[in-house]
């Protein structure tokens, strides 16, 4: 699933490619992706011009000059591609397309068809989209307060990996970056959250900010199918320490990286650097 660094890179690419373009028509061969239906999208967006593209967590927010916002969640496999000519054939995974008045076309590819798009009045996104209503702070120095993070962590008995995957605690962290930030913090993914010390929680807080920022700057992680809106793969996969590296030596201590499950999610960690510590629950 695209996580915050990947979605941010899609946003940057789309901003350069489609800002200022005007929609002539919307098409689909899988209407379930368009919440509210194709007719509603065509009625709302015909003649509307893209004025900006924002992001909140893993959601893209396409802003139009008629005060509407298209909220797009890529889910597992969603990706966008701009083609210069509508005559270019669709591949079998193109399920939504936005034809612009200049003849170009924005195509939404989704192998699993899990992605969703929804139209809202601009400024009401969090009232309409449940995932936005409860979303936690962005993982930046300005928005993500260490003290509030410590309080949120210490209310939970769940494994710390499950807690940082919870989008109400911090926005944008998915499976890849949860594993990586926990390795950076020397914390076991299964460690009960409310047994972490303040120092450990602060270390994890800082690792989340630093790792997601670095991954964003490197174009995201392309361990599976991710490419940005210009078709470029990310570069952060070259710096992964544990994710998808089971059976290889830890970059820090040489111990073999193992894969297990935490909260039904495939989880990678170093058993030496990230021991599960027996502590009394807080």
Q: How far apart are CA 195 and CA 160, in angstroms?
A: 9
- What tokens were used for 31? 């209407």
Catalytic residue annotation: 2-3, 58, 265
Q: Give me the long-range contacts of 200-208 (CB less than 8 A, separation at least 24).
A: 201/146, 201/149, 201/150, 201/153, 201/154, 202/146, 202/150, 204/149, 204/160, 204/164, 205/144, 205/146, 205/149, 205/150, 206/146, 207/181, 207/182, 208/139, 208/144, 208/164, 208/170, 208/173, 208/177, 208/181
């Amino acid at each position: 699933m695209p996580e915050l660094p990947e979605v941010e890179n899609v946003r940057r690419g789309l901003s350069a490619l489609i800002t200022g373009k005007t929609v002539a028509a919307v098409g689909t061969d899988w209407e379930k992706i368009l919440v509210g239906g194709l007719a509603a999208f065509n009625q709302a967006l015909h003649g509307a011009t893209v004025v900006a593209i924002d992001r909140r967590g893993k959601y893209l927010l396409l802003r139009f000059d008629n005060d509407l916002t298209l909220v797009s969640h890529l889910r597992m496999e969603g990706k966008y591609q701009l083609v210069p000519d509508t005559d270019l054939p669709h591949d079998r995974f193109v399920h939504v397309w936005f034809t612009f008045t200049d003849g170009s076309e924005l195509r939404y590819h989704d192998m699993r068809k899990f992605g969703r798009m929804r139209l809202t009045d601009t400024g009401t996104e969090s009232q309409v989209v449940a995932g936005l209503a409860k979303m936690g702070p962005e993982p930046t120095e300005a928005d993500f307060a260490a003290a509030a993070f410590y309080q949120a962590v210490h209310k939970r008995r769940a494994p710390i990996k499950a807690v940082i995957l919870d989008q109400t605690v911090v926005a944008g962290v998915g499976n890849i970056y949860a594993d990586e930030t926990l390795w950076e913090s020397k914390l076991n993914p299964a460690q009960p959250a409310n047994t972490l010390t303040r120092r450990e929680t602060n270390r994890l807080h800082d690792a989340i900010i630093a790792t997601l920022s670095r991954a964003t700057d490197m174009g995201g992680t392309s361990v599976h199918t991710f490419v940005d809106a210009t078709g470029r793969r990310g570069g952060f996969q070259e710096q992964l320490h544990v994710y998808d590296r089971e059976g290889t030596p830890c970059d820090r201590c040489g111990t073999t990286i193992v894969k297990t499950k935490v909260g039904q999610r495939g989880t990678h960690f170093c058993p030496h650097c990230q021991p599960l510590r027996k502590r009394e629950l807080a």
